[in-house]
Amino acid sequence: MEDQREHQGPPWRRWVERTGRSPAWRSALVVAVLAQVGSGWAERAQTGRVSLDWFARLLLLLGPALLLLRHRYPVAVVYGVAVVTLVYVGAGFPYGPVFVSLAVACFAAVIAGRRRAAWGAIGVLWAGHLLIGHWFYRWLPPAGDGPAPWAQELGITAWVLAMLALSELVRVRREQWARERAERAAAERRRVDEERLRIARELHDVLAHSISVINVQAGVGLALLDTDPEQARTALTTIKAASKEALGEVRQVLDTLRSPGDAPRTPAPGLDRLPELVEQAAAAGLAVEVAVEGSPRALAPGMDLAAFRILQEALTNVVRHSGSRTARIGLGWQRGALELRVDDEGPATGDPAGGSGNGLVGMRERASALGGTIKAGPRPDGGFQVVARLPLKAASIQEDP
């Protein structure tokens, strides 16, 4: 309903919202009224000029009428208004607001990027006025008129230059505003892309780890269903717990996606949940040893989440792709960095286990976003090793209360 109300406004308002320009008829109407009324005042002040008649009134209307097309045909309009103004001046009618139409037409031409046309039209008017005021005045009305004073020509020249300078200034400002709008739009697109990438990483990490545990335990349950029902029951219990946790974390990610401005209902996982991660790995048949070096510190939520997800993905890869049933996690709290290390003895099973192949890519993206690095590859003595180094910047560490 709100969108319908927005589209029910007057057409000229929708045009302004779409183009960023006011409708041409409004300014043209103002110029027409100003030309008619102001020229009447000029007639009373300039007794030596030709009195306004129907032809003068028609010329004073023709200039603003041409302004209605200035956005669509800026070049034709600016030259047309220059000719109309020159005819008005050549007919000997009083000087006055007749030049306003030309100012608006030149302004529109410069804004539209037709600077040469604006300068050309001004040149035509200026040259024509010089010829009329200093040569053709002998044969043009009013009768007995003399040459125009040069001070008047200097004043007209100054007015022309000021008008063109103002037009150029507005053009430059509009181009600057357009660049700023484009930069804001590009920044908004980058934020959207970064948020989409963050959500994709979260979903991948949650689902990859949980589905890997479920896959392993389902295989154990099927293998022991007839020979060892109690062990099969344990495997099914593990599947239930892993699926429940995965559903909870997926729901949290989707809630954030639905309401990006709201805070998440549950805290994001961090290194404080490392014991749970070790238990989940144990349920999948992987014994994990944890070694801590240095003094642990409280991390900012983003750094804490990234460290947890990197360890989670590394253990998931061990469960999926390694024949080893043991793994070692090392947390190295150094002065300026946190080093995360995950080792397994191998060998590689060569079984893809339904993986998407994005695990290492996701880990590298998380580390890179925080200014860190990831090294992953086979160890010289066999097995596989993942080493992540995350810089501990001042803004990434929370002071303990």
Contact predicate 68/39, CB 8 Å: no
Tell me the domain boundaries of the chain.
2-148, 187-396
**Where does the pLDDT of residue 148 fall: very low under 50, low under 70, confident under 90, or very high at 90 and above?**
confident
Contact predicate 235/284, CB 8 Å: no
Q: Using one digit for the tens of pLDDT, what is the confidence trace for 307-322?
A: 988 898 888 888 878 8
**Where does the pLDDT of residue 83 fall: very low under 50, low under 70, confident under 90, or very high at 90 and above?**
very high
In this structure, what are the phi and psi dihedrals at residue 88, rounded to the nearest 5 degrees?
-60, -45
Residues of the chain with pLDDT > 70, as a percent, come to 77
Q: Using one digit for the tens of pLDDT, what is the confidence trace for 185-224?
A: 888 888 777 767 766 676 666 666 666 667 666 776 777 7
Q: How many CB atoms lie within 10 A of CB 31?
A: 22
DSSP letter string over 36-89?
HHHHHHHHHH-TTSPPP-HHHHHHHHHHHHHHTTTTT-HHHHHHHHHHHHHHHH
Q: Using one digit for the tens of pLDDT, what is the confidence trace for 349-385?
A: 765 444 445 677 778 888 888 889 999 989 888 889 9
CATH number of the domain at 187-396, please? 3.30.565.10
Q: Using one digit for the tens of pLDDT, what is the confidence trace for 1-40?
A: 444 444 455 554 454 445 445 578 888 899 999 999 988 8
**Where does the pLDDT of residue 61 fall: very low under 50, low under 70, confident under 90, or very high at 90 and above?**
very high
- When pLDDT is averaged across residues 280-300 and rounded to a whole number, the result is 87
Please report the pLDDT score of residue 79 as a whole number.
93
Please report the pLDDT score of residue 60 as a whole number.
92
pTM: 0.45
Token pair belonging to 17: 């919202």
